[in-house]
């Protein structure tokens, strides 16, 4: 078995390296590449994807996995070897259902769509992006067909990001929390409005970057194995456990996007940087799922970054960088301002209480697009109608509506639900962490995050994708993913802020 495991790791390393090379090209596309290079970049990425797919579906790998799966019966269920075989076999079984031609076509289509989306967003031109959206919806429908029979056409897409979870499960979780969230927002709407106008002044880009870098350095981000750049839409990417990069977004007249976007992406990066190095260049060197990944980014962004103890420590630092904007704003006013609850247009700028409504809208849109009940050509108008139904406002343009997110241009249908699931998991894990670290608030107020990060490294990060998401959450908290802790958190936090 030892010899076969070594051969498996060799093959998995080659597949990982090809995927990492593709990730470098994708990172460069979003950070440095001239827009006119999109066609060439698409061809390059398609070639690498095709080669990676051939290797990841080879008869050699399949035979090796079949043999090892049988022999793994003699291994402890939770051993690294048994789990690596299980994760690799699951991925192989999925990959072999998909044609190499489809993979190449999809990769090229997303590379071109990405650049077109950027131009369409800047120019508020949905019609420019529409043909690409139609093509990508069609390709994702074709992808789902590879996995028939399924309970729902959306299941294969969701499974890519949330292994083992079904569309019906997500819909139930969302339904369970929707009414309480809507009621909380209604109660808040009856209270005096919080003033956050000071967030919408001119804020120097260098100052925003400076403060964000200081904070995430304190969080524990390892700059020797990472870097930060600027992109249209913030993201985190990993080329291996020793190279985990983040980007952020600058809005000159709104402070929040860079601040909280930086905290958010750092949370993703800390997860990747904390995976045990023994798993590097294997399928385990990844998050357990995107919901678990989002639980980490939302934890650093919200549970810490929007908390009162955090700003007791860092507000004076921010005031020093922006004295004319914040010099006359006291800490309590700032804290309430960054936590103002108000239906808003942009998902990544939404407050904690309304954020999940943005995700529920997108889930409905994606299911409709995959089922065919929504046509891609009508997406901009349907978006406005659903946005009004969910949040009571109509986007004044498509740039702030259907074009605001990068995900569809990247073909990432099935991803959006993981954001809301990540919110739920973040509080479930946080509550468990507080049992072991009851003085967490004092640590945050002191700007000391090593114990917090250490707890997550021990209980979450080190395992990477060794455990499936529901399995990991239950292992840590004793429960599967559910909305009750998150709902309690919202009611407690905003009940105090709004005197409910």
Domain map (residue ranges) of the chain? 2-149, 167-497
pLDDT at residue 186, rounded to an integer: 92
pLDDT over 90 at 275, yes or no: yes
Query: Which of 169, 265, 272, 352 does the annotation list as catalytic?
Result: 265
Catalytic-residue membership of 468: no
pLDDT band (50, 70, 90) for residue 346: very high
Question: pLDDT at residue 32 above 90?
Answer: yes
pLDDT band, residue 81 (cuts 50/70/90): very high
CA 418 vs. chain centroid, Å, equals 7
Residue 13 has pLDDT above 90, yes or no: yes
Mean residue pLDDT of the chain comes to 96
Check pLDDT > 90 for residue 348.
no
What pLDDT is recorded for position 357? 95
Q: Residue 484: is its pLDDT beyond 90?
A: yes
pLDDT at 35: 85
How far is Cα 483 from Cα 174, in angstroms, rounded to an integer? 8
Flag whether pLDDT at 48 surpasses 90: yes
User: pLDDT value at position 20?
Assistant: 97
Task: List, for residues 90-138, the tens digit of each pLDDT value.
Answer: 999 999 999 999 999 999 999 999 999 999 999 999 999 999 999 999 9
- Stretch among 174-183, 367-376, 400-409 having the lowest mean pLDDT: 174-183
pLDDT band at 141 (very low <50, low <70, confident <90, very high): very high
pLDDT of residue 59: 96
At residue 21, the pLDDT reads 97
Taking residues 31-52, report their average pLDDT.
93
Answer CATH for 167-497 from 1.10.1370.30, 1.20.140.10, 3.40.50.1700, 1.10.260.40: 1.10.1370.30
At 289-309, the pLDDT tens digits run 999 999 999 999 999 999 999
* pLDDT band of 487, cuts 50, 70, 90: very high
Q: What is the pLDDT of residue 118?
A: 93
Name the percent of the chain lying above pLDDT 70.
100
Question: pLDDT-derived band of residue 209, with 50, 70 and 90 as boundaries?
Answer: very high
Q: Which of 46-50, 176-180, 207-211 has the highest mean pLDDT?
A: 207-211
Which whole number is the average pLDDT over 438-460? 98
Using CB atoms within 10 A of its CB, is residue 101 exposed (0-12), middle (13-18) or buried (19+)?
Answer: exposed
Please enumerate, by residue number, every residue annotated as part of a binding site.
264, 268, 294
Strands 228-230 and 244-248, by their bridges, are: parallel
* pLDDT at position 232 over 90: no
Residues at the binding site for Zn(2+) are 264, 268, 294
pLDDT of the residue at 1 = 86
């Amino acid at each position: 078995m030892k010899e076969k495991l070594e051969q498996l790791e060799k093959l998995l390393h080659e597949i990982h390296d090809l995927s990492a090379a593709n990730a470098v090209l994708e990172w460069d596309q979003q950070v440095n590449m001239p827009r006119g290079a999109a066609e060439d970049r698409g061809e390059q990425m398609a070639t690498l994807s095709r080669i990676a797919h051939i290797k990841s579906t080879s008869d050699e790998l399949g035979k090796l996995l079949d043999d090892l799966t049988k022999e793994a019966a003699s291994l402890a269920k939770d051993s690294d070897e048994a789990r690596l075989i299980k994760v690799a076999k699951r991925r192989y079984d999925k990959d072999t259902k998909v044609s190499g031609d489809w993979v190449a076509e999809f990769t090229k289509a997303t590379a071109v769509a990405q650049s077109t989306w950027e131009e369409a967003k800047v120019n508020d031109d949905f019609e420019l992006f529409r043909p690409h959206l139609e093509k990508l919806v069609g390709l994702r429908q074709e992808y789902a067909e590879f996995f028939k029979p399924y309970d729902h056409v959306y299941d294969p897409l969701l499974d890519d990001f949330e292994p083992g979870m079904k569309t019906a499960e997500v819909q139930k979780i969302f339904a369970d929390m929707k009414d309480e969230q809507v009621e909380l927002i209604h109660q808040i709407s009856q209270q005096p409005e919080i003033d956050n106008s000071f967030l919408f002044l001119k804020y120097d880009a260098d100052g925003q970057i400076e403060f964000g870098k200081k904070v995430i350095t304190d969080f524990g981000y390892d700059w020797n194995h990472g870097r930060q750049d600027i992109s249209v839409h913030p993201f985190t990417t990993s080329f291996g456990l020793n190279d985990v990069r983040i980007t952020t977004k600058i809005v000159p007249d709104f402070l929040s996007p860079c601040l909280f976007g930086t905290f958010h992406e750092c949370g993703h990066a800390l997860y990747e940087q904390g995976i045990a190095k023994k798993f590097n260049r294997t399928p385990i060197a990844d998050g357990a799922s995107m919901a678990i990944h989002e639980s980490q980014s939302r934890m650093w962004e919200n549970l810490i970054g929007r908390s009162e103890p955090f700003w007791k420590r860092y507000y004076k630092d921010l005031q020093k960088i922006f004295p004319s904007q914040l010099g006359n704003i006291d800490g309590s006013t700032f804290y309430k301002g960054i936590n103002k609850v108000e239906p808003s247009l942009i998902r990544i700028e939404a407050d904690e209480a309304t954020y999940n409504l943005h995700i529920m809208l997108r889930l409905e849109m994606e299911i409709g697009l995959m089922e065919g009940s929504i046509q891609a050509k009508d997406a901009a108008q349907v978006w406005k109608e659903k946005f009004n139904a969910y949040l009571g406002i109509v986007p004044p343009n498509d740039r702030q509506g259907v074009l605001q997110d990068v995900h569809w241009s990247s073909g990432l249908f099935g991803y959006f639900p993981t954001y809301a699931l990540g919110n739920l998991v973040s509080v479930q894990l946080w509550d468990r962490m507080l049992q072991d670290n009851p003085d967490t608030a004092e640590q945050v107020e002191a700007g000391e995050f090593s114990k917090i990060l250490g707890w997550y490294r021990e209980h979450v990060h080190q395992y990477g994708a060794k455990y499936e998401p529901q399995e990991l959450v239950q292992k840590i908290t004793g429960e599967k993913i559910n909305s009750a802790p998150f709902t309690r958190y919202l009611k407690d936090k905003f009940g105090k802020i709004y005197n409910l």
